[in-house]
Structure formats: C-alpha cells, structure tokens
Structure 1
Amino acid sequence: MRGELILILMLLLACPAWADHNAGKVGPYNISFDMNTTPDYKVVVEMPSQGTTADGVAFTRYNLSIEKDNSDYFAWLILTEYERPMIANITANAEIVAIALQGAGADQPKFYQPLIDGQPGVLGSFRFQSETKGVQLGQQVANQASQQAQIVVAASYSPDGRVMEEGSYRGRLNFRIISTFPWEVTRDLLYTLHIDVPAELLNSSLNSST
C-alpha cells in the first residue's frame, strides 16, 4: 500500500499536504518517492538554512525527516543547493556517506555504487550493534537503531550532476539520506526517489565556472 505523507512545516507556516505517491515541494524543488509501506508515518520539513563551506561557497540547505508512528524508525533527508557547481563524483559522495555512517557509530561499513534517480551515487550500510555509541546527529540515529540491531543506511548523489567541459563531474545540488527504516523500505525510497531540477539551475550549472 502506498503511504500518504502529511507535510508539517516548522514555525506554523501554512502549506498544503503532500499528494498521493509521496510527492511535494521542498523549497523550490519537487520531490517524490514511494516507501511502499503503510501510511502511519509523517514527513517534517524544516525551514531552509544558509551557510558557507570551508572554501567560502555559500549554500542553502533543506532538511526533511520521516518518522514512523509508534516506532523508532527514522530517516533524515538533506537537499543542499550550492551557489556554484561542486565536485560530485563517486569519491566525493563516498566521503559524505562515510562521515554520516561514522557519526552513527559505524566501524566497517559496506559501500555500493548504485544509480539514484538516474545519477551515479554511493550507498553505505552497517548493521548496528547495541553496544555501539553514536555521536552528534549519529547519537539520535544510533539510539533508534540499537534497540533492534537493524541496518543503518546512508546514501548521497547529485541530482544535477554532469561532466563539465574541463572533465570534472560536478553539480550544484547534493542529496543525502541516513535511515534506520528496514532495508526494504529504504531501498524502495531510493529506487523511486526523483527530484525535479529546474531548467534554470541546470543552465546555470553549465554556464558556471569552477
């Protein structure tokens, strides 16, 4: 059964609920996915936040969380838009995934290179052991996963990634997720995930210098 998501905006901002097929707007982006599970879960969308990378590149970040009622299952989704194209190759995505899993308490995670939304990405996983301790954001993920010794999954890819004229693979967008849902649920989410990239952003990526 396909779930129906309820969109809850922070700070009491009014916004329509997501429609069927788990689709809705996150900032200027349309995101859709199907978790292929019962509808007893909700999506919470936080207000966008802004920041600057260590290299001085400004970005806007959109955070979502998916919570299942009466359970400890949790997924955290992050869509980041940078002011200019960033390196988005397998190595860059693997580093993002490794940091996320290490923060959740992973010792020796396994890594894979699937296509996500038709783009090259990296997926990592590890089976959480109850005695392992997480840190920072990972502490929340770790606490939830430890109760059932389940698999923790993290993934990263660039929805607008492409090979630039000079040969590097770059994108202005990065999407990442860390999930403690059962593997079948996380798998279906990633398999059906789609982010509509506005044409103007694609064009700006092509025209931006590195």
Structure 2
Amino acid sequence: MASHETGVVGPYNVSFDMNTTMDYSVIVEKSSSGVTEDGVKFDRYNMSVQSTDYFAWIVLTRYSAPMLANITANAYIVQSALVGSGADEPNYYQPLIDGKPGVLGNFRFERQDLGNGQYEEGDLVVAASYSPDAKVQENGEYRGITNIRLLSTFPWEVTRDMLYDFHVEASGDQAASQTLSENQSQKKPQNQLQNASQDQSLNQSQVQALNLSQNQTTAQMPELPSYLRL
C-alpha cells in the first residue's frame, strides 16, 4: 500500500507517493542560494528520502528569471547527474512528469561476483528533471522559474510510482523549510519525517550531480518504452 507524503518545502507544496513497505525517512534540508554563470540568482531547497539501503535526493530550484525548460535543457541536467554518479552510457527517455514534459535517465552499476557462479545485480540509478511552472514565452521559448530534479537509487517500482504521483505547486510560504507531515499509515509506523539543520553528507559524485545549472545539450532520446511510462 502506497504512503502519501505531502508538505511545504520552501515556497512550494510538494506531494508524492512511496509505494514500499520498507521503513524510510523524509528529510527537508537547509536551503541555499547562488548565482548561475549567466548571473541569474536562485534559491535551492533540498529534500531526501532515505532508507537503510536506498535514497532519493530531490532538489527544488527557484530562479529569479525564467530559465530554459525544454527537453534539451532537462536532458543536460539528467545527463550531468548520471555521469556524475558514475554512468558510462546512461539511457534517456521523455515522459510527462507532473503533467509537464520532462527527461528521465537511468543506468545500473556493474553486477557483483559473489563467487561460486553467483552474481548480484548492481543498483539502478534514476535521474529526472522538469519544470512545474514552465510555459511558452512570447518569443516561443519554453521557460519556467522552477526546476525540479531527482536522483534515486530506490528500486524502479518505487521510483516510478513516486514520479507518477509527484506534484509541486507554489504555496506562497517563504519559509526556508518545513517538515513534511508524518504519514499515519499503519504499515510503516517507524517512518520518521524530520528536519535537518545541516545538509546531509554526500559523496563528491552526488554533489556534482546535484549542483547543476540550466544549459542546453544536443542529446537525442528515444521514446519511453511502455513498461517505463509514468
């Protein structure tokens, strides 16, 4: 049975489903600010979903000016996230996320040799990017002031269902961060939703994957296979 998580993260209302019976925690990180190479200011709000063996890192970035949010812009973010996490030849797809055009990519770490002819498949890493408020501008460009990016090592079924019901909208609340309301499902009584006053530790590849700016790329992606559609 899926657990529905909903709450305020910075100036946004965020909601998604976690279709898993494993225990996990949702943590809202301390916000940060910066400036892109083009001089556009932004505020960044991070949150993570953590279990014993898996994690999902969600980054919500609000820019001071509309940024490119077309397929090539999102493809660059996803490509950089996956390559920064160790991918050699990731796969790319173009699903709708939250009703908006997005890009999804994945790769799997090499399987491990357990000996005696037995192997264990490597973890699947999924990255996704889209803009929930993007629209076509007067000049014909597709731009938005918000970018949502996700990096997940949860099993595909969990990540897929999370993205299927993922929704972000502006809340008007300018608080830096606020704890998501605790889910009351009896199937996961140990789930703890908590604030973190400091950013969680990430390895260098994860930091590189998540500190990205909106740029264009010429990456070409195939249609999303039916079994992967969100």
TM-score, L = length of structure 2: 0.69
Correspondence 1:56-67 to 2 at 5 A: 56-67=39-50
The aligned residue for residue 31 of structure 1 is 14
The aligned residue for residue 78 of structure 2 is 97
Give the distance between the partners of 1:110 and 1:104, measured in 2 at CA: 14
2:24 is the counterpart of 1:41: yes
Give the distance between the partners of 1:108 and 1:86, measured in 2 at CA: 27
Give the distance between the partners of 2:57 and 2:70, measured in 1 at CA: 22
Task: Give 1:44 deviation, angstroms.
Answer: 0.9
SS in 2 for 1:176: strand
2:24 is the counterpart of 1:22: no
Task: Give 1:128 deviation, angstroms.
Answer: 1.1
The aligned residue for residue 187 of structure 2 is none
SS in 2 for 1:43: strand
TM-score, L = length of structure 1: 0.75
Give the distance between the partners of 1:38 and 1:62, measured in 2 at CA: 27
Give the distance between the partners of 2:47 and 2:121, measured in 1 at CA: 23
RMSD: 1.5
Q: Which amino acid aligns with 1:30?
A: N
Give the distance between the partners of 1:58 and 1:76, measured in 2 at CA: 22
Find 2:150's aligned residue among 177, 180, 183. 177
Identity of aligned residues (%): 62
The CA deviation string for residues 90-133 of structure 1, in whole angstroms up to 9 with x for no partner, is 000000000000011001100000000000000000111158xx
Query: Would you tell me which structure has more helix in proportion to its own residues?
Result: 1
The CA deviation string for residues 26-84 of structure 1, in whole angstroms up to 9 with x for no partner, is 0121100002112610111111100000111000000011101xx22011000000001
The aligned residue for residue 9 of structure 1 is none
1:88–1:157: 8 Å Cα contact kept in structure 2?
yes
Structure 1 consecutive aligned stretches of length 4 or more whose deviation exceeds 3 Å: none
The aligned residue for residue 154 of structure 1 is 127
The aligned residue for residue 163 of structure 1 is 136
Q: Which amino acid aligns with 1:56?
A: G
Correspondence 1:105-124 to 2 at 5 A: 105-124=86-105
SS in 1 for 2:88: coil
1:159–1:197: 8 Å Cα contact kept in structure 2?
no
Give the distance between the partners of 1:75 and 1:179, measured in 2 at CA: 4
Size of the aligned set, in residue pairs, is 165
2:35 is the counterpart of 1:75: no
SS in 2 for 1:86: strand
1:46–1:63: 8 Å Cα contact kept in structure 2?
yes
Q: Give the structure, 1 or 2, with the largest relative contact order (CA under 8 Å, sep 6 or more).
A: 2
Q: Which amino acid aligns with 1:158?
A: S
Give the distance between the partners of 2:43 and 2:95, measured in 1 at CA: 26
